[in-house]
A = this chain, B = another copy of it.
Amino acid sequence: MTAKMKLTQLNLLELFSDENYADILAGFRERQFGRKELICTPYDGNDSIFIVKSGRLRVFLSYEDREFTLALLEQGDIFSTHTQAYAEALDNSVILTGQTRVFHSKIQQYPQIMAAVVKVLGELLKNSTEIIESLVFKDVRQRLYDFLHHAALERGVAQGEGMLVDLGLSAEDLALLIGTTRQTVSTLINELIRDGKIEKVGRFKLLIHDLSAFRSEN
C-alpha cells in the first residue's frame, strides 16, 4: 500500500544485458555515488535514464525543508528524471546513466523492450496510486503496519516462529517513506514491541513474530 521497497518486478538490467540488446546500453556511462550523495534534482536540465547496477537509491520529493520518499531502488531498477523528483544514494552505489532522447530512439527498434518500458510506466503509476490511497485513507499507524507487512513478505526470511526483516532503515528513513515524523515512528514501533508483536534484532533489523497481525483488508 505505501511505498514499496522494490519498484518493479522486471529486472531491466538482466533484460538489457542479454547480448541481443547490448547496444542499448552502449551509450550509457557508469557512475559511482557515495552515501547521501545527490544523483539528480528536478532542475537538472536534460532528461536522463538511470539504471541501478548496485547499491540502493532513494527517490524523493522535497518542498521547503520537508521531504517524502517515493521509492527505494535496488539493483536492476530503473527510473527517469522527468518525474519531477530528487534521487540520492542510500548506500554506496553504481549507476548506469544515459540520455532519455538517445535511449528512446533506440528502444523503438525493439518492440519487446518498448512493451517492457510501457509496463514499467504502468507499474510506476500503480505505485503512485497506492501511495495516494494510503495517504488519503489511512492513518500513520496503518501506513506503518502496511509497510512492515509488505517489507516482510518481500524481503523477510523465516526465522523460528516469525520473519526476520533487514530494513536497513532508521526511524527517520521510515518516517520519510510513510509520511510522518521520526518520533511517531519510534513511538509506534515501541508500542509493537511492548505488545510482543515484534522485537529488535540488531541495528535496523526487526523480527516480526506474527505477521498476520499486520494484515490489512484490501
Contacts and interface: CB of A to CB of B under 8 A. Distances in A.
Interface of A: 61, 63-64, 66, 68, 70, 82-85, 108, 111, 114, 117-118, 121-122, 124-126, 128-133, 135-138, 179
B84 A136 contact: no
Copies of this chain per assembly: 2
B84 A126 contact: yes
A188 to B, nearest CB: 18
A108 B111 CA distance: 8
Given A82-B122, A126-B84, A131 B132 contact: yes
A83 to B, nearest CB: 6
Contact of A137 (B63, B70, B122, B130): B63
A129 B132 CA distance: 9
Q: Which of A63, A68, A130 has the most CB of B within 10 A?
A: A63
A68 B128 contact: no
A63 B133 CA distance: 8
A189 to B, nearest CB: 21
B132 A61 contact: yes
8 smallest CB-CB distances across A and B, nearest first, come from: A128-B128, A63-B137, A121-B121, A68-B136, A135-B135, A61-B133, A136-B179, A125-B125
A125 B126 contact: no
A68 B118 contact: no
Contact of A128 (B132, B136, B137): B132
12 contacts: A61-B133, A64-B137, A68-B132, A68-B136, A83-B129, A85-B129, A108-B111, A118-B121, A121-B122, A121-B125, A128-B128, A128-B129
